[in-house]
Amino acid sequence: MTTTMSEKDITIVNNYINGEIIPPAGGDYLDVQDPSNSSVIGRVALSTSDDVDRAVRAAHAAFPSWSALTTKARAGIMLSFHSLVKSHAAELASLIVMENGKNMTEALADVAKGNETVEYACSLPQLMQGRIDAVSTDVTCRDRRDPLGVVVSIVPFNFPFMVPHWTLPIALVSGNTVVLKPSEKVPLTMYRVVKLFEMAGFPKGVINLVNGTKESVTSLIDHPLCRAVTFVGSSPIAKFVSDRCRALDKRCTALGGAKNHLIALPDCDVESTASDVVVSYAGCAGQRCMAASVLLLVDDGKGTDAQQKTLLRRVIEKASEIERGTEPGKMGPVIDGHSLNKIVGYIERSERWGAEILLDGRSWIGDDGGNWIGPTIILHHDRSDSAMNEEVFGPVLSVYRVGSWQEAIDIENSNPFGNAAAIYTTNGGHAEWFVKRVRASMLGINVGIPVPREPFSFGGLYGTKSKYGDMDITGDGAIEFFTNRIKITSKWPAPCVPEYVVGLAKKQ
């Protein structure tokens, strides 16, 4: 059973180009649904290459005057935006709850975490300073950072505020102009946010929004005036975007999917590890690229079996306490019916492979039209089970017992994603042994969601399915990404000094 809002309450999400709200040239729209009940809450523009062309040209026209401002002046405008985000946090979080299905606490965190990158970007006047050094006799070399031009950002559904702000603040304060393509599943949040950018004083054309799906993405990448692309989303699309940019000689960073492992040693603290595991795998209904999806219980056969059984029991008990809902502390739905069916498919396949379903979230599936699935825990006996190896992107934890530290490392290191991993132990030496050997880009020690905060950059491991393209996103990696270093080498040899100055020096 699905409900639909009355037509007057449905938000029509158009494009935002050169400071104006503009309907898509082709007049086509897609329904946006509330994942908790599938009611239609919006209609989002499906943009064509004509809309994209208009947006990129607006960004290109705004670039000369925006990039001519001092970094300090641009940071000043971003600082006003930072305050506006804070004062509108509750409103933005309500939009996120409605279109994404997170609970209210998670939605507020989505906004707060995105605003941390805004805060970092306000320090760019200090962080972007050039260097100067004497490189030879009478010769100095200095550099400065110049912006690239029009940059494009393509983002996924799972963090409607935070992920766009992995790109926008640093790209803008470093002097670029931007065209953003939000996820068609959650377009309402950024449609509201562009108005906050306007209120903060960003000039027309500096930030533009084009909504849509594949056609808008390919048109943005292919546009001759687009200089660089940031992409965050699933691995196949990340690879597609990266390959297309490479063929056109465009700078690109493309973050893909994940399969993150938590490794619990027998000496871990049971209570805090159990809490962390549950928060990591079930928070945001498991729809986080940093979510834990595999728990490896290391049982070294030296009497540690009982301790690991207690840990597993506590994980199950804590996960069973989670209630369904979007109020703080509860767990929301997954994004859509396609995602729900995919998650159920993984659980069913695991059953057929002889796995034990220790906690079955399928009991949440109802007939209210919502995409509900509860926390699920699967104990695998076969390592090749697909739920253990592929990205499920839902509240499903795969548990697997291993007999040695090395087996845990082998399983983690053979996964094709290499995004994140965490080790649970009370022994610092054990932790160091693991972090030297684990092949993942973001590592946690007793931290289940090891997101590096600025100035550190965020991103998966190059050469795996978690990252394609050039660099990390956020932090100092983003400063490098959004600028070109211009190097100036100058020589002012002594003969250039007027004779009378040399004479004066000699007299003294």
Burial bucket for residue 248 (CB in 10 Å: 0-12, 13-18, 19+): middle
Residue in 257, 374, 395, 477 binding ligand NAD, rule: CB under 6 A: 257
Residue in 94, 105, 140, 213 binding ligand NAD, rule: CB under 6 A: 213
Task: Check the CA dihedral 350-355-357-358 and report its sign.
Answer: negative
Q: How many CB atoms lie within 10 A of CB 265?
A: 25
Q: Which residue is associated with the tokens 């897609």?
A: 30
Burial bucket for residue 136 (CB in 10 Å: 0-12, 13-18, 19+): exposed
Least CB distance to ligand NAD at residue 1 (A): 26
Bridge partner residues of 178 (DSSP): 151, 207
Piece of 19-27, 59-67, 229-237, 426-434 that binds ligand NAD (CB under 6 A): 229-237
Least CB distance to ligand NAD at residue 129 (A): 28
Which residues of 8-79 form beta strands (DSSP E)?
A: 11-13, 15-17, 20-22, 29-33, 40-45
Query: Nearer Cβ to ligand NAD, position 350 or 466?
Result: 466
Q: Which residue is associated with the tokens 């030297």?
A: 436
Distance CA 38, CA 5 (A): 10
Least CB distance to ligand NAD at residue 73 (A): 31
Which of 339, 346, 444 is CA-nearest to residue 398? 346
Distance CA 256, CA 408 (A): 23
For residues 393 to 422, the per-residue mask of contacts with ligand NAD, x marking binding by CB under 6 A and - elsewhere, is x-----------------------------
> Is residue 289 among the annotated active site residues?
yes
Length of the chain measured in residues: 508
Query: Nearer Cβ to ligand NAD, position 184 or 299?
Result: 184
Least CB distance to ligand NAD at residue 30 (A): 10
Residue 391 sits in the site that holds ligand NAD (CB under 6 A)? yes
Distance CA 476, CA 145 (A): 13
For residues 113 to 142, the per-residue mask of contacts with ligand NAD, x marking binding by CB under 6 A and - elsewhere, is ------------------------------
Residue 258 sits in the site that holds ligand NAD (CB under 6 A)? yes
Query: Nearer Cβ to ligand NAD, position 334 or 359?
Result: 334
Query: Nearer Cβ to ligand NAD, position 149 or 418?
Result: 418
> Given strand 483-491, what is the order of strands in its sheet?
132-136, 139-147, 483-491
**Sequence-ordered list of residues with C-beta below 8 angstroms from that of 55, at least 6 positions apart, any chain:** 15, 17, 179, 208, 209, 210
Q: Among residues 122, 245, 289, 496, which one is catalytic?
A: 289
Burial bucket for residue 15 (CB in 10 Å: 0-12, 13-18, 19+): buried
Burial bucket for residue 236 (CB in 10 Å: 0-12, 13-18, 19+): exposed
Residue 217 sits in the site that holds ligand NAD (CB under 6 A)? yes
Q: How many CB atoms lie within 10 A of CB 93?
A: 24
User: In the numeric block, which tokens belong to residue 477?
Assistant: 């990696």
Query: Nearer Cβ to ligand NAD, position 127 or 289?
Result: 289
Size of the site for ligand NAD (CB under 6 A): 26
Least CB distance to ligand NAD at residue 10 (A): 20
Q: Scan residues 161-200 and list those touching ligand NAD (CB under 6 A).
A: 163, 181, 183-184
CB 464 within 8 A of CB 416: yes
Residue 232 sits in the site that holds ligand NAD (CB under 6 A)? yes
Piece of 78-86, 251-259, 401-409, 443-451 that binds ligand NAD (CB under 6 A): 251-259
> Given strand 29-33, what is the order of strands in its sheet?
11-13, 40-45, 29-33
Residue in 255, 296, 378, 402 binding ligand NAD, rule: CB under 6 A: 255
Q: Scan residues 64-123 and list those touching ligand NAD (CB under 6 A).
A: none
Residue 259 sits in the site that holds ligand NAD (CB under 6 A)? no
Could you say which DSSP state residue 386 is in? H
Query: Nearer Cβ to ligand NAD, position 183 or 242?
Result: 183
Query: Nearer Cβ to ligand NAD, position 273 or 466?
Result: 466
Helix axes 71-87, 89-100, angle to 10 degrees: 70
Least CB distance to ligand NAD at residue 147 (A): 23
Distance CA 26, CA 149 (A): 28
Strand (E) or helix (H) holding 123? none
User: In the numeric block, which tokens belong to residue 293?
Assistant: 């999806």
Residue 237 sits in the site that holds ligand NAD (CB under 6 A)? yes
Q: Scan residues 441-480 and list those touching ligand NAD (CB under 6 A).
A: 460, 466
Residue nearest to ligand NAD (CB): 233
Residue in 24, 175, 233, 370 binding ligand NAD, rule: CB under 6 A: 233
Q: Scan residues 278-307 and list those touching ligand NAD (CB under 6 A).
A: 289
Give the catalytic positions in this structure: 289
Binding site residues, ligand NAD, CB under 6 A: 154-158, 163, 181, 183-184, 213-214, 217, 232-234, 237, 240, 255-258, 289, 391, 393, 460, 466
